[in-house]
Amino acid sequence: MPSWDERERHAALVDAPPEQTLAAARSLPFGELRLATALMAIRSLPGLVGGRVPKPGPPSTSVMESFERLGFAVLEETPRELVVGGIGRFWRVSGNIRRIEAGEFAGFAEPGYAKAVFNVEAVPHGDGCVLVTETRVAGTDAAATRSFRRYWRLVYPGSAAIRLAWLRAIRQRAEAGA
């Protein structure tokens, strides 16, 4: 997504080859991210109680599978990078995730939504790699952008904590397999 309204980027050095690191990212079970599990449960509780949010799956479900289950789509996948996108009204209790196919993402422009893209990339560095995750979000109109920005100010600290915990867990998994 070449233009965005909000962006978040984090990185970690990993002592494992890029392909092994990305494989660890793809297979990481959501249950290994205790902080993420707790924060996502708190965020999802009102929607789950009302039946408006699909459950992400058991703790053994990978993080990537959980996102796909919620309605996100894999937009691009290479041996060193995975790009995932979703469309929703993330500022609402239910998130109003709009299930789409990967080919629909770039052209989606219906007013009142935000488009979110995140990646996990393993960039070669010495004998290992730099593991990077970046999230970009853009509203489809000015009102959606304002709504998302209000929401983002509230959730950004938790989002950053989740991303950092995710990178640590991927690094540990990749290095254990090295």
**Is 13 within a domain?**
yes
Per-residue model confidence (pLDDT) at position 153: 95
Q: Which domain holds residue 68?
A: 6-177
Per-residue model confidence (pLDDT) at position 41: 57
Question: Average pLDDT per run of 10 along the chain, which is 178 residues long?
Answer: 95 97 92 66 52 60 85 94 96 88 96 97 97 97 98 92 92 89
**Is 128 within a domain?**
yes
**Is 84 within a domain?**
yes
Check residue 61 and report its DSSP letter. S
Q: What is the pTM of this model?
A: 0.86
**Is 76 within a domain?**
yes
Q: Where does residue 73 fall: left (phi above 0), alpha (psi -120 to 50 degrees), or beta otherwise?
A: beta
**Is 1 within a domain?**
no
Residues 78 and 6: their CA atoms lie apart, in Å, by 25
CA 133 to chain centre: 9
CATH number of the domain within which 130 lies:
3.30.530
**How many domains does the structure of the chain reveal?**
1
CA angle 127, 128, 131 (to 5 degrees): 160
Per-residue model confidence (pLDDT) at position 53: 54
